[in-house]
Amino acid sequence: MRPAPAVLHPSSPAHSNPRPHWRDTFASLRVRNYRLYVISQVLTNTCGWMQRVAQDWLMLSLTGNVTWVGLTVTLQLAPMLVFGLFGGVVADRFDKRKLLMITQSLFALSALVLGTLTLTGAIEPWHILASAAFLGVATVVDNPARQAFVPEVAGHQHLRNAISINSTVFQLGALVGPALAALGIALVGQGWSFILNSMAGITAVALLVAMRASELSAAPAITRSRGQLREGLRYVGDKPVILWSVVMVGFVALTGINLATVLAAYADDVFDIGSAGYGLLNSCLAAGAVAGALASTRRRSLRLRTLVYSAGVLGLLQVLAGTIAWLPLFCLVLIGVGATSLLYLTGGNTLVQTAVAGTMRGRVMALYILVLFGAQAGSGTLIGWIAHEYGAHVAMIACGAGPLLGAVVVGAVLARKGRLTTRLILRDRPGRGVLYVVPRDAVPPAAVSLTPGLLSRGLRGRSRPTHPAERRRRQQRRAAPSRAAHPHPHTDRTWTRSGRPR
């Protein structure tokens, strides 16, 4: 499939979509079912982050060995990496709302058992490991079902806005949840964080039950048959927009998203600001992410090309951050990194969700999540080793390598397949910039000089008029489209200033 030709003129569809009004920033929340869904996401995301922090701290308190903490994280992620694609098949076969009721009930049950054992003093390390593995298995189905449920509950009309709000909710949970967990651990211990997460899961199930099934845009469930996993992979291969979005998110997630290790090295080795400073750096990143998620709700258009540009900007910002040794400026750039990363992640998710068929959404989103999480799982060890061996500055620059490499590779492939090239236009620019991506056929070989006006002549496909009367006629055609649509058949006449032939 050949990519759509480049859009150059500001009146083209990509530029003519009106920017959403500020009152439409949260337009999807007008849908009752989606409001209930967002409330459930706020509760489960925030309390889920609380449980993760309390779980890791509890394991460290019981064993005194950080290796056990790493094993806990591995057991929670491993099922998704091994069986994640099969979870997508399950999400396509069954009702997604019922699947989410089941998975949230399992999360609530696990948290309740862990909280009870902690509060009664009967907790053992193997209890935490078993709970982490159990949660990992439930997440195999929960993640693709949760992603695929958004279009059903919000409707395709508000899909982009709903995905942006979901990203905002997730980042707020990641920002608020650990802070609440730290406060709760200091005041009442780890046990109540588990109990609170259990109550959040029960509330989420109640909100899912309260939704009006008649108002859901549910995709038809597929019947069980052989080869459905291979069918999903073939579908991705046949859809360039989805395929290259998945490839891009792998490049970006490999080094560009997981910055926890690098920020810890900056707080300890570069700025010497301790744990409080580490929290400040994470807060800057999260604040930028929330701003990026909100900004994504006001996007007028989205293309695969936008993802390439976003990945390139993200990589450049991270490389820039790696050269900075002044804390205020580093925090400012870090906000930009957070905003750009969320704009990219939200854009990739939206592009895939809007391009996939409803009967394939579960399997496609399972693959997308698998690549995203799998690349992040590998990036922690890789970036941590670079930070230990070569320092925080080199590690931050290495974080920008993945997004930059992805932008270059995918951008080059798309340009080759679509026969696209870049052109510098200094006069008669079709838009606001000076550098444009255009089809190769749109510019003849003669238009390769950077002489002002020569490239624009090549784009128009004809020479620039030199006679004053001809230039006036061109200007009048632009000012009066109705007359330009029916030009006079005689081209050898001169024209007056009023536009009438002599």
The DSSP letter of residue 399 is H
Q: How far apart are CA 230 and CA 236, in angstroms?
A: 10
**Taking Cα atoms as reference points, which of 93, 166, 116, 130 lies closest to residue 360?**
93
Q: How far apart are CA 388 and CA 411, in angstroms?
A: 32
Q: Could you tell me the sign of the dihedral formed by the alpha carbons of 160, 164, 169, 171, in that order?
A: positive
The per-residue DSSP string of 324-384 comes to ---HHHHHHHHHHHHHHHHHHHHHHHHHHHHHS-GGGHHHHHHHHHHHHHHHHHHHHHHHH
Residues 6+ apart with CB under 8 A from 371: 246, 249, 250, 253
Q: How far apart are CA 232 and CA 92, in angstroms?
A: 10
List the structure tokens of 124.
């053992």
Q: What is the pLDDT of residue 422?
A: 61
List the structure tokens of 181.
């967990």
> For residue 495, which amino acid is it?
W
Q: For domain 226-418, is the CATH number 1.10.3720.10?
A: no
Q: How far apart are CA 414 and CA 49, in angstroms?
A: 38
Q: How far apart are CA 414 and CA 312, in angstroms?
A: 15
| Contact in structure between 97 and 204 (CB atoms under 8 Å) | no
Q: What is the pLDDT of residue 332?
A: 94
| Contact in structure between 337 and 288 (CB atoms under 8 Å) | yes
Phi first, then psi: give them for residue 211, nearest 5 degrees.
-70, 150
- Alpha helix stretches (DSSP H) within 155-273: 159-188, 191-210, 228-238, 240-255, 260-265
Q: Could you tell me the sign of the dihedral formed by the alpha carbons of 5, 436, 344, 401, in that order?
A: positive
> For residue 402, which amino acid is it?
G
List the structure tokens of 454.
């020569």
Rounded average pLDDT per 10-residue block, the chain, 502 residues: 38 44 69 91 88 84 79 82 86 89 94 93 90 90 87 81 79 73 77 91 94 81 76 87 89 81 82 78 83 77 85 93 91 92 86 83 86 77 80 90 91 76 63 61 48 37 50 65 47 47 50
**Taking Cα atoms as reference points, which of 293, 90, 111, 81 lies closest to residue 204?**
111
- Please report, for residues 233, 303, 363, 411, the alpha-carbon distance to residue 417 in angstroms, rounded to integers and kept in the order given: 21, 16, 26, 10
| Contact in structure between 46 and 176 (CB atoms under 8 Å) | yes
Strands (E), 78-164: none
Residue where the block lists tokens 């400012």: 332
- The CB density around residue 18, as the number of other CB atoms within 10 Å, is 6
Length of the chain: 502
| CATH superfamily label, 25-217 | MFS general substrate transporter like domains (1.20.1250.20)
> Do 25-217 and 226-418 show the same overall fold?
yes
List the structure tokens of 10.
């500001």
Q: For the chain, which residues make up each domain, given as ranges? A: 25-217, 226-418, 420-484
| Contact in structure between 471 and 465 (CB atoms under 8 Å) | yes
Q: What is the pLDDT of residue 264?
A: 78
- The CB density around residue 498, as the number of other CB atoms within 10 Å, is 6
List the structure tokens of 404.
């930059």
Q: How far apart are CA 245 and CA 481, in angstroms?
A: 40
**What is the tally of helices (H) and strands (E) in the chain?**
19, 2
Residue where the block lists tokens 């496609």: 364
CA 333 remoteness from chain centre: 19
Q: How far apart are CA 440 and CA 420, in angstroms?
A: 5
**Taking Cα atoms as reference points, which of 239, 262, 200 lies closest to residue 363?**
239
**Taking Cα atoms as reference points, which of 168, 141, 165 lies closest to residue 153?**
165
Residues 6+ apart with CB under 8 A from 456: 425, 426, 427, 428, 429, 464
Q: What is the pTM assigned to this prediction?
A: 0.71
The DSSP letter of residue 283 is H
